[in-house]
Amino acid sequence: MTKVSRRRFMAATTAATITLPIATAARAQEAEGAASVSVEEALRNRRSTRRFANAAIPQEQLLRLLWAANGVNREDSDGRTVPAWRSAKNVDLYVAQEGGVGRYDPAANVLETMSEEDLRGVVSDQSYIVRAPAVLIYVSDRDRLAEAAGESAADEMAMAIGAHVNSAVMAQNVYLFAAAEGLGTVLIGGSADRAAIAEALSLGEAQTVTYIQPVGVPR
């Protein structure tokens, strides 16, 4: 599959959120109608959802979800909403939707278009995943991880942990965001078709799909 030129996704109705400087991104989450439930309430509602209604997710809500997953919350240090082993920024978040695939750019807080193909039918053979309006795809870059790992890069176990744990902590933020905003999600390790995703996204040798995570309105 050929990649189309990367265009910055901007939902016309939500340009304010998307174009705000990162320093004000956190405040923008609130200003743009983010949920105001307590962390405890979100934790109480957190669960895995495997049945999705035939309903779209507003793009501004999706962008706030991505910010929760891996957004910049400290501009001076490129600090993120998630912790990371060795501060490695090795995990990229792709999003497969009906209109194509985007990659979240935390620095700009935008979803960059990577492909205009609907890859939801490729990511898994599980029909409920294909029906979700958005499927997050976690892609770890081994080169970036190795650079952060230093001498530990020779330790295969440490590298595997760095790839998967750094993805999974993002996934937990997505679970909590979903619980707070009435969305449903489930982290998928088992039935992700990693080879098909890698081919469809033209991933390089160093890139590994760790997990996928459908998100939608629960049915």
Ligand X SMILES: Cc1cc2nc3c(=O)[nH]c(=O)nc-3n(C[C@H](O)[C@H](O)[C@H](O)COP(=O)(O)O)c2cc1C
- Give yes or no for residue 188 binding ligand X (CB under 6 A): yes
Least separation in angstroms between residue 190's CB and ligand X is 3
Q: Which helix (H) or strand (E) holds 26?
A: helix 25-31
- Give yes or no for residue 168 binding ligand X (CB under 6 A): yes
- Give yes or no for residue 127 binding ligand X (CB under 6 A): no
Stretch that binds ligand X, among 2-10, 91-99, 105-113, 180-188 (CB under 6 A): 180-188
- Give yes or no for residue 190 binding ligand X (CB under 6 A): yes
- Per-residue CA distances from 56 to 41, 49, 98, 205, 216 (Å): 24, 16, 10, 33, 7
Q: Which helix (H) or strand (E) holds 210?
A: strand 207-216
Q: Which is nearer to ligand X, 183 or 187 (CB)?
A: 187
Q: Is the dihedral of CA 31, 37, 42, 47 positive or negative?
A: negative
- Give yes or no for residue 79 binding ligand X (CB under 6 A): no
Cα 131 to its chain centre, rounded Å, is 18
CA 49 to CA 215: how far, in whole Å?
A: 9
CA 195 to CA 96: how far, in whole Å?
A: 16
CA 65 to CA 216: how far, in whole Å?
A: 11
Q: Name the burial class of residue 191, with classes exposed (0-12), middle (13-18) and buried (19+) by CB atoms within 10 angstroms of its CB.
A: exposed
Least separation in angstroms between residue 102's CB and ligand X is 23
Least separation in angstroms between residue 157's CB and ligand X is 16
- Give yes or no for residue 87 binding ligand X (CB under 6 A): no
- Give yes or no for residue 217 binding ligand X (CB under 6 A): no
Q: Which is nearer to ligand X, 100 or 189 (CB)?
A: 189
Least separation in angstroms between residue 163's CB and ligand X is 12
Q: Which is nearer to ligand X, 129 or 145 (CB)?
A: 129
Q: Which of 79, 121, 189, 218 binds ligand X (CB under 6 A)?
A: 189
**16-55 binders of ligand X (CB under 6 A):** 47-48
Stretch that binds ligand X, among 19-27, 95-103, 104-112, 182-190 (CB under 6 A): 182-190
Q: Which residues contact 179 (CB under 8 A, 6 or more apart)?
A: 42, 43, 44, 45, 46, 47
> Where do contacts with ligand X occur on this chain (CB under 6 A)?
47-48, 168, 186-191
